[in-house]
Structure 1
Amino acid sequence: MTAGQGAPLVAVIIEDDPGVQSLLDEVFLAAGFRTVLAGSGPEGLAAVAAHRPVITTLDINLPGIDGFEVARRIRQVSDTFIIMLSALAEESDVVLGLTSGADEYLVKPFRPRELRARIEALLRRTRTSATEQAPLAAPAPAIPAPAAPPTTPSVPLPVAAAADATVATWRGLVHRDLSLDLDTRLVLVAQRPVELTPTEFDLLAALLEAGRRVCSKADLALGLRGPAGDAHDRVSEPDKRAIETHMANLRRKLRDSPTAPRYIETVRGVGYRLTSDDRHV
């Protein structure tokens, strides 16, 4: 479901500046959302838990709990897209924001048109609606196994999926002992579930679908904007740095070493791709 079709999608706005809060409210209402406003970190956490928004905007300098900690706590219970908004423009602040779980980072003052473009790009992303998903802490099984007993805590890979092959089956993607299901958005490593943010999941899916083809940072950034995005959209250096940060977070969660990768290797000066099938690490 997209904004403007059926019941409106929900956006939670966590912002203590009345002027900025009002501007954000106007942008989301114009995009067809129902908005929930919160003026502090604790209020924002309660709003996300109660309303299960598709998108959440998050200021950093909040009363009660700062935005970085709020983002980390949101990620424990929700896969809502997080757009972090802040006057802090240093690269270290952007990296910290993305590492905390944000999907986008916009520096204040921002243009309403730019925010609207980010909202539309997030809505184009191929994913299950946050309003229809269970919390990340309790993922559903992804890929069925022929002989899995009912009490098996994690689901084995299909017999047809060889350990060192990348194949598509049951809307699932497999590489070595890493598997990803596009429908349930569950990721398993050695049969154990791995919790990823929506952006990390989409980046991993793009790499698995590309196989050994190299994905540049610009390709990945454009891919996150969705199939309806313009192929000539500008990808800025901050966009590329954001991809680097998301990739670093993804590797950390997969326990994949950049220097001796099992799943994702860096092609220096170009981008990223899967490791070769016959490479044993």
Structure 2
Amino acid sequence: MGPGQPPPHVLVVEDEPEINEAVSLRFRAEGWRVTQAYDGPAAVSAAQEHEPDLVVLDVMLPGFDGHEVCRRIQARTPTPVLMLTARDDETDVLVGLGVGADDYLTKPFSMRELVARAQALLRRVERAGELARRTDGPRRLGPVVVDVAARRVTVDGAEVALTRTEFDLLVCLTEQPGTVLSRSRLLEQVWGWPDASTRTVDSHVKALRAKVGAGRIRTVHGVGYAWETS
């Protein structure tokens, strides 16, 4: 947040009043503006009315769930979404990433990590704006073309819709094709939060593989991942 800029605005969507209030109070203590919602329809309405910089979104909600909320929000305008899930379930996480969530946290979580991940996500949004001003041309890796400036990816000529995090992860991997990048390095370079669980990386890689092709990202067991060059 630069001089003269308004504080960031977060929409907190959580149906449990105690958790909603605790999260909201923590963000307010950090200087953020906060809007609160407690069910799916109210969350979509609040996102349309207030256009927050970030949405902290619980999966389990009355009305309709967080996945549907995320889908409807992203259909209107790309908004960073940090999803909260009660289960450390890979299927649940991948569904969230598939509908446009940028990151996720599993309950119970620390308020410190929640705020740090939210701040890191906003920094990535700012960095995306800086990358959009780059003048270098698209990066061609066989059938995959990565246009960093336009934040567009095509596979075999067809455009692929990636979340902000998936795109940043792809850019990081393709900057050094064939080079193995550790999970901790990817956390630091992509998420800006090196203390997060390495399962975060694994979940996003799995989601990215589903979109660009499973064989294009090589797993080096016990180490990390590399963009396949052959």
- Same fold, judged at TM 0.5 (above): yes
Match of 2:211 in 1: 253
Provide the residue aligned with 2:158 in structure 1: 192
Say if 1:240 and 1:51 are closer, same or farther in 2 by CA, change over 3 A: same
TM-score by length of 2: 0.83
Q: 1:209 to 1:52 in 2, by over 3 A?
A: farther
Q: Report the CA distance shift for 1:192/1:221 in structure 2 as closer, same or farther (over 3 A).
A: same
Aligned length: 227
Q: CA separation in 2, counterparts of 1:210 and 1:193?
A: 22
Cα distance per residue 1:116-151 (max 9 Å; x no partner) = 22122222323239xxxxxxxxxxxx9xxxxxxxxx
The offset of 1:4, in angstroms, is: 6.6
Alignment correspondent of 1:132:
none
Secondary structure in 2 matching 1:224: helix
**Which whole-Å CA distance do the structure 2 matches of 1:9 and 1:184 have between them?**
25
- Give 1:228-247 correspondences, 5 Å limit: 233-235=194-196, 239-247=197-205
**Normalising to structure 1: TM-score of the pair?**
0.69
Pick closer, same or farther for the CA change 1:3–1:55 going to 2, 3 Å.
farther
Flag structure 1 segments of 5+ consecutive residues without an equivalent. Answer: 130-141, 143-167
Are the structure 2 counterparts of residues 95 and 223 from structure 1 closer, same or farther at C-alpha, using a change threshold of 3 Å? same
C-alpha distance 114-94 of structure 1, shift in aligned 2 (>3 A)? same
> 2 CA distance for matches of 1:184 and 1:51?
26
Find the structure with the greater CA-based Rg: 1
CA RMSD of aligned residues (A): 2.8
Q: Deviations over 1:153-177 (max 9, x none)?
A: xxxxxxxxxxxxxxx9626433123
Shift of residue 100, structure 1, vs aligned partner:
4.1
Identity %: 38
Counterpart residue type for residue 6 of structure 2: A
Distance in 1 between the 2:26 and 2:32 partners? 9
Q: In the alignment, which of 208, 213, 224 is matched to residue 179 of structure 2? A: 213
1:48 positional shift: 2.4
Distance 1:264 1:90 in 2: 22
CA shift for structure 1 position 222: 1.9
Q: Higher helix fraction: Structure 1 or Structure 2?
A: 2
Letter paired with 2:26: V
Distance 1:253 1:73 in 2: 20
Q: Which runs of 5+ in 2 are unaligned?
A: none
1:173 aligns with 2:139: yes
Q: Is the 8 A contact 1:174 1:208 kept in 2?
A: no
Q: Which amino acid aligns with 1:192?
A: A
Measure the CA separation in 1 of the matches of 2:24 and 2:175: 37
Are the aligned partners of 2:172 and 2:190 in contact in 1 as well (CA < 8 Å)?
A: no
In structure 2, the CA distance between the partners of 1:248 and 1:3, relative to structure 1 (3 Å rule), is farther
